[in-house]
Amino acid sequence: MSRNPLLEIHSLPPFTDIRAEHVVPAVETLISESRDTIDRLAQQAAETTPTWETFAEPTEAVNDRLTQAWSPVSHLNGTMNTPELRDAYQTCLEQLSEFSTWVGQHEGLFHGWQALKAGSAWTQLSPAQQRTVDNALRDFRLAGVDLPADKKARYGDIQARLSMLSNQFSNNVLDATQAWHKDIKHADTLAGLPQSALDTLKATAESKGIDGFRITLDFPSFFPVVSYADNRELRREVYTAFVTRASDQGPDADKFDNAPILEEILTLRQELAHLLGFDTYADYSLVTKMADSPEQVLTFLTDLANRAVPQARQEVTELSEFARNELGIETLEPWDVAYASEKLREARYAISQEQLRPYFPAPQVVDGLFQVVERLYGVRFAEDTDVAHYHDDVHFYWITDNDQPIAGFYLDLYAREGKRGGAWMADCRVRRQTHDGLQLPVAFLTCNFTPPVGNKPALLTHDEVTTLFHEFGHGLHHMLTKQTIADISGINGVAWDAVELPSQFMENYCWEREGLDLIAGHVDSGDPLPEALLERLQAAKNFQSAMGMARQIEFSLFDLRLHHELDSPCASDVQALLDEVRQSVSVVPTVSFNRFQNSFGHIFAGGYAAGYYSYKWAEVLSADAWSAFEEAGIFDPTTGQRFRQEILEQGGARDAADIFRAFRGREPSVDPLLRHSGIRAA
């Protein structure tokens, strides 16, 4: 039998050796071996009193071995998608879902964890070990271990089906995004677009052997068109194609329609919740979060809406008046909002994202990011060019502390064909203690920025810079952990509505002179951001901030109510609920053909179902945490070390509320968020 690299334990994934044909046999082998080991551990726990060393540690090792094989496969599926890999990934998803259900409902394994908690050695376990045991027992019950046999089987069927549906939802969005393009012969049609955007559209066309310019629905292509194109009809056409992706509307109507998929996902989620004794899927989802109940979340969101929406309506009124008086747009349409907003921003603050690009060449930004982290936490960064990559754009770095490596990460910055949109951090390896020593954490950090053209470095917008810092905050949470148990290491075991705290916190350094002096340097001269430009950037920071907050509240309310109020909805029910939410909190114009929900991957293909509110919940925490740095100095080493020790190193070892109180010395306050966002007090 030929060598299968996915079956070998490497310190890092052997990307140059991995092929699509390796995936299914490797996963099948690992699942089979894992089943045998788990059965043996459960039997052993039934015959002798389990201990941490004889039961918990080998159970963790089984899970980690499978994760080490699957994580690079999952990452490649999102960043280097091919038909062959997609098929292998789909096949394995079904098998992994079945295996996960089998483990979660394994009564012998469950009884082993119960015996560990009930045994005489319980009091000798560390708080982190005890929390791991408690989390495991909770998760067994959430997996239906207490259900009768017929309901256990139904639970497994539902989970397997949900896994397939979520993957198909994501595939449909990717396929719909890549199916549409518009070729432009003459640059006159693209009047208003900055040169950087024209270069990108031209390079895209050239890569396909086309003369002229090619617009796609990838964000680095779509966004400049709707933001800068003077041609209103072109903006309308591109906007329409984007907001109707994977739906029954638009240029590819019904071809990749996600409506039947989201209907089935929602119905199955509610059935799953009912099986486990919860009233709704929202109640089930919140068991592992900081928030106590859907009602508490609704109250939180309603309070924010009451503060933000009145100001947001004023901002839209100002925008409409500006569009009418200065741009000749009598009625502001959705495809005018970004365009008119950019014009108003330039008129009011004499600043635009394009003006800032020359000051943010990607290599300088990455180096500045590292310097910010080095000053905050005392660690260092070193690129390792010998590590196997999966694409030429990818770089690998080690993080060192006192000259010793403590973590590593892959950095993948640019959009390309076969790569799903958005930006994210994912685990490659988790920090854990093994029999062979300490396994270091490794992260995948992925963005979709405008790629470099020719020999010039990529020039990032300020928004892209903040996105990079956001994702790197997640990465630091994963990589700077001091936990040595996989289930509470890094972001594992962290309440979902607290997990955005470190990521949102890092964004603040993109707005302060001390941070920007490290991040920004003109692409030609290396000069820092001029004081006048910085002042305009900071003055424009809260431009339309209430509109932005209202938009996030809209998504959050829609998500929570969708999973709390609708039991077995059809697509029209989903649309009606979205329309109702928009009626109460949305402030921008809408159109009937917008099918935002059909590409809402966060809740239908990600981990944010009944949890999208987490962005705003955690923003309260991050803004309050940042206020501690405002008080002491944004690079104050004592405060930086406290943040590292009390937040980043803790992982999921303690309750998220306790962790925040340990750092801040009190309960969180919403006031810093409102102040930072420029939302006036109610």
Contact 221, 421 (CB under 8 A): no
pLDDT mean for each 10 residues of the chain (682 residues): 74 93 97 98 96 97 96 97 96 95 97 96 96 98 97 97 97 97 97 94 95 96 97 98 98 97 98 98 97 97 96 98 98 98 96 92 98 98 96 97 97 95 96 95 97 92 97 98 98 95 98 98 96 95 96 98 96 98 96 97 96 96 97 97 98 96 96 91 60
Q: Which two tokens stand for residue 33?
A: 């071996």
Confidence at residue 287, expressed as pLDDT on a 0 to 100 scale:
97
Nearest-angstrom CA–CA distance, 288 and 278? 14
**Residue written as token pair 């635009």:** 352
Confidence at residue 682, expressed as pLDDT on a 0 to 100 scale:
55
Provide the 3-class DSSP secondary structure of residue 412.
strand
Does 514 qualify as catalytic in the annotation? no
Nearest-angstrom CA–CA distance, 631 and 620? 17
Candidates 60, 263, 315, 471; catalytic one: 471
Nearest-angstrom CA–CA distance, 246 and 547? 26
What stretch of H or E contains 400? strand 395-401
Angle between helices 149-179 and 259-275 (to 10 degrees): 160
134: which residues sit within 8 A by CB, 6+ positions away? 117
Q: Tell me what percent of the chain is helix, strand and coil, each rounded to the nearest 5.
A: 60, 10, 30
Nearest-angstrom CA–CA distance, 132 and 115? 14
Confidence at residue 471, expressed as pLDDT on a 0 to 100 scale:
98
86: which residues sit within 8 A by CB, 6+ positions away? 77, 171
Confidence at residue 537, expressed as pLDDT on a 0 to 100 scale:
96
Confidence at residue 1, expressed as pLDDT on a 0 to 100 scale:
42
Torsions phi, psi of 501, nearest 5? Answer: -55, -55
Q: Where are the alpha helices (DSSP H) in 529-613?
A: 531-539, 545-565, 571-585, 601-604
Confidence at residue 184, expressed as pLDDT on a 0 to 100 scale:
97
Confidence at residue 656, expressed as pLDDT on a 0 to 100 scale:
96
CA angle 143, 144, 150 (to 5 degrees): 135
Domains and CATH numbers, the chain: 5-146 (1.20.1050.40), 180-243 (no CATH), 259-351+545-612 (1.10.1370.10), 358-539+615-677 (1.10.1370.40)
The alpha carbon of residue 177 and the mean position of all alpha carbons in its chain are separated, in whole angstroms, by 19
